[in-house]
Amino acid sequence: MEGVMQTDAKMRTESGAESSPRAPGCSLRHFACEQNLLSRPDGSASFLQGDTSVLAGVYGPAEVKVSKEIFNKATLEVILRPKIGLPGVAEKSRERLIRNTCEAVVLGALHPRTSITVVLQVVSDAGSLLACCLNAACMALVDAGVPMRALFCGVTCALDSEGTLVLDPTAKQEKEARAILTFALDSVERKLLMSTTKGLYSDAELQQCLAAAQAASQHVFRFYRESLQRRYSKS
């Protein structure tokens, strides 16, 4: 089943509930997702957010080295390859974040003493890279048929010097921003699975970003559902 389909998703979400004179209507960029495009991995997905594009491949559940095996769950491994150069410390840090997010969601207890490997390749980076990686990883895990207790999605927020909230920032917006916050939210209760931030911001701004991210995640999950429905309903 070669489910090659692209779904347009231009969404609009309002920023937090405060009535201060800030620019309303933070919109997410155009999304597109393609599944099952690689023949070797058990599951693969390519996720596009504006100009940022990440290709993910999932191998698993597969054989695991005895030194790495865990007796009662699957061992999850994430490899992130940057577009240019060799993977460095920043990639290791991101791999750890993505791996821990996946571990919280994947039902590893169903496949003990196996390994599930997620390989991510950055195809182009135009802002919100970590969120795009998370989305691609989730879609690839679904394509591979790995049992999960929930889906997850990544959302990036940028706060500029005046305190305006921008969702899904471009590379230019990220550079000029005072703070960049990336969240991973789960689909069942919109709880915060993973968070990583850079820059200074206040507690109130954090709550505002979190609320905006939760609203945006709803659109992302609807997009997931629609794209999967379209893929599996070939009549």
Partner 1 sequence: MAAGFKTVEPLEYYRRFLKENCRPDGRELGEFRTTTVNIGSISTADGSALVKLGNTTVICGIKAEFAAPPTDAPDKGYVVPNVDLPPLCSSRFRSGPPGEEAQVASQFIADIIQKEDLCISPGKLSWVLYCDIICLDYDGNILDACTFALLAALKNVQLPEVTINEETALAEVNLKKKSYLNIRTHPVATSFAVFDDTLLIVDPTGEEEHLATGTLTVVMDEEGKLCCLHKPGGSGLTGAKLQDCMSRAVTRHKEVKKLMDEVIKSMKPK
Q: Between 28 and 97, name the residue whose CB sits nearer to partner 1.
A: 97
114 makes contact with partner 1 (CB under 8 A): no
212 makes contact with partner 1 (CB under 8 A): no
- Name the minimum Å distance from CB 25 to partner 1: 23
Among 38, 140, 186, 231, binds partner 1 (CB under 8 A): 186
173 makes contact with partner 1 (CB under 8 A): no
Among 11, 56, 74, 102, binds partner 1 (CB under 8 A): 102
**Residue 46 amino acid letter:** S
The window from 37-45, 66-74, 98-106, 111-119 that contacts partner 1 (CB under 8 A) reads 98-106
Q: Between 48 and 184, name the residue whose CB sits nearer to partner 1.
A: 184
Beta bridge partners of 181: 157, 197
31 makes contact with partner 1 (CB under 8 A): no
Secondary structure element (H or E) that encloses residue 227, with its range: helix 203-232
The window from 41-49, 94-102, 161-169, 220-228 that contacts partner 1 (CB under 8 A) reads 94-102
* Radius of gyration of the chain measured on its C-alpha atoms: 18
What end-to-end distance do the CA atoms of the chain give, in Å? 12
Secondary structure element (H or E) that encloses residue 96, with its range: helix 89-105
- Tell me the longest C-alpha to C-alpha distance in the chain: 59
193 makes contact with partner 1 (CB under 8 A): yes
| CA 144/CA 103 separation, integer angstroms | 16
95 makes contact with partner 1 (CB under 8 A): yes
Secondary structure element (H or E) that encloses residue 141, with its range: helix 129-144
Among 7, 27, 36, 100, binds partner 1 (CB under 8 A): 100
Please say whether the beta carbons of 139 and 152 come within 8 A: no
Phi and psi torsions of 41, nearest 5°: -70, 160
Nearest one of 156, 235, 223, 233 to 6, comparing CA atoms: 223
What x/- string results for residues 126 through 165 when contact with partner 1 is judged by CB under 8 A?
Answer: ----------------------------------------
Neighbours of 170 (CB within 10 A): 17
Residue given tokens 């080295």 in the structure block: 65
What x/- string results for residues 54 through 93 when contact with partner 1 is judged by CB under 8 A?
Answer: -----------------------------------xx-xx
| Residues at the site binding partner 1, with contacts judged by CB under 8 A | 89-90, 92-93, 95-104, 181, 184, 186, 189, 191-203, 206-207, 210
